[in-house]
Structure 1
Amino acid sequence: MATFEEILTCYSLERVELNAWIDQQWVRPQLTPHGPIFDEVDEARIALIRELRGEFLVGDEALGLVLSLLDQLYAARRALHTVEEALDELPEAVRQEIRLRLRSK
């Protein structure tokens, strides 16, 4: 977990820039009475945003779209993981039938 000031220092960001990213919900820190607190996911997004903007010259409008698509991808992966866990709890014969049906699609 990192504070606002730690993030500014660690990632060489300007205060206005990080505030804009929070306002656009590109980064979603936990809000506390002492200010925002950033977790590992926030820090990974900050690093990604910096890389996309700096090295790949992705503009703000496109960046919002990229982050939205990544969020959707991760949500789909989580949902698939939940389905896999549910399938693992089924009897082997049922799992085998599901595998056969999926392969035939």
Structure 2
Amino acid sequence: MNDHEFRLCLEIDVVQLDFWVEQGWLIPETSRGQRQFREADVARARLILDLMGNMGVNEAGVDVVMDLVDQLHGMRGTMGKLLTAIGRQERDVQQRLFESLEEVDRF
């Protein structure tokens, strides 16, 4: 969706949107000089609205939260790749890995 559609969907003004993009809280794709937003951007923007509105989080707090969200997303991707790699191993290797994880959990 374009800038206008995005702002209408979220009921925000261009100043707010520009600020969020400048802060790196939203990183839209650019096509022919026009920003394009995805559903993930809508979800992030709704989170920003909740944080700043309902929860009263300031800009520095939003920076921290959005950084943590990005880190968590990255870790989930890495975990998915790790599970795929484990799934490609022979059964005995898989078993040893899972047993090793259980041992680590005990400490």
Q: How does 1:57-72 map to 2 (within 5 A)?
A: 57-72=56-71
User: 2: CA distance between counterparts of 1:43 and 1:9?
Assistant: 11
Deviations 1:36-64 (A, max 9, x none): 00011111101110111111011011100
Structure 1 stretch 30-39 or stretch 71-80: which is displaced more? 30-39
Instruction: Give the ranges of 4+ consecutive aligned residues of structure 1 lying more than 2 Å apart after TM superposition.
Output: none
User: 2: CA distance between counterparts of 1:69 and 1:34?
Assistant: 30
**What SS does the aligned partner of 2:27 have?**
coil
Q: Which runs of 5+ in 2 are unaligned?
A: none
Q: Given the alignment of the two structures, is residue 41 of structure 1 paired with residue 45 of structure 2, yes or no?
A: no
- Aligned partner of 1:53 in structure 2 is 52
Q: Which runs of 5+ in 1 are unaligned?
A: none
Q: How does 1:74-89 map to 2 (within 5 A)?
A: 74-89=73-88
Pairwise CA distance, 1:67: 0.3
Deviations 1:60-102 (A, max 9, x none): 1110010001100110110011000000000001100111111
User: 2: CA distance between counterparts of 1:6 and 1:70?
Assistant: 25
Aligned CA RMSD, in angstroms, stands at 0.8
Q: How many residues align?
A: 104
Pairwise CA distance, 1:34: 4.9
User: 1: CA distance between counterparts of 2:61 and 2:51?
Assistant: 10
